[in-house]
Amino acid sequence: DTEVTQTPKHLVMGMTNKKSLKCEQHMGHRAMYWYKQKAKKPPELMFVYSYEKLSINESVPSRFSPECPNSSLLNLHLHALQPEDSALYLCASSPLGGQGKLFFGSGTQLSVL
Amino acid sequence: AQTVTQSQPEMSVQEAETVTLSCTYDTSENNYYLFWYKQPPSRQMILVIRQEAYKQQNATENRFSVNFQKAAKSFSLKISDSQLGDTAMYFCAFMKHEISNSGGSNYKLTFGKGTLLTVNP
């Protein structure tokens, strides 16, 4: 299995809702990432987990809360989002050992109304 | 901090022809990786090719090859025999290897702004 699977593919939520994005990989990768991508822009790094511990937080607002419950699963919990948070959220994973290759999921397209 | 510059916002090429996408970067690091990622309309980021900075030999993957000029900090992508399926946004990316507090490896990608390539029939 060489895929990173993200669910849901599309999500519409109101500003008072609580929702979660899910990312799963079974490639044995021990680093996992959340990126945010606005239309016609490059992806921007949000969080990095290494060995299930948060190792990088790129000053992301607290309304985004990541969680890595095990080595295969990465969640992004969303609460009280703003319309400007509407974007494509990409998950990625990478093997350790100096390869430097990231494997991306197909993303969750989020719309905040 | 690293920066990656792609000076061509859009390019087009005829099917079966060759096209070169430009990328320059700025870093004080000596060991790093460079990548070209492709993002088709499906929006999934797909790795096209990877270059390790310590290797002088240019990377090649089938129809895709790079011209890596370390001293000039240039990393261009050549696509030969262009196909309609090559139509996509192409991002050049820089990565340096960092060791996290937990002892694992973090790979932090810095992307350029992208070049939208259209292959015309």
pLDDT score for B102: 61
pLDDT score for B29: 86
pLDDT score for B1: 74
Residue A97 has pLDDT above 70, yes or no: no
Closest partner CB to A96 (pick from B35, B104, B111): B104
Going through chain B in order, the beta strands assigned E by DSSP cover 3-5, 10-14, 19-21, 24-26, 33-39, 46-52, 60-61, 64-69, 74-79, 88-99, 105-111, 115-120
Count the helices and strands in chain A (H runs, E runs). 0, 11
pLDDT score for A58: 86
Q: pLDDT tens-digit profile of A14-72?
A: 988 899 999 999 999 988 999 999 998 999 999 999 889 998 888 899 999 999 999 99
Q: Give how far A18 is from chain B: nearest CA, Å.
A: 25
Closest partner CB to B43 (pick from A55, A98, A106): A106
Residue A98 has pLDDT above 60, yes or no: no
Q: pLDDT tens-digit profile of B21-62?
A: 999 999 988 888 999 999 999 888 999 999 999 888 999 999
- Compute the average pLDDT of residues B90-113: 80
CB within 8 Å: B111 and A94? no
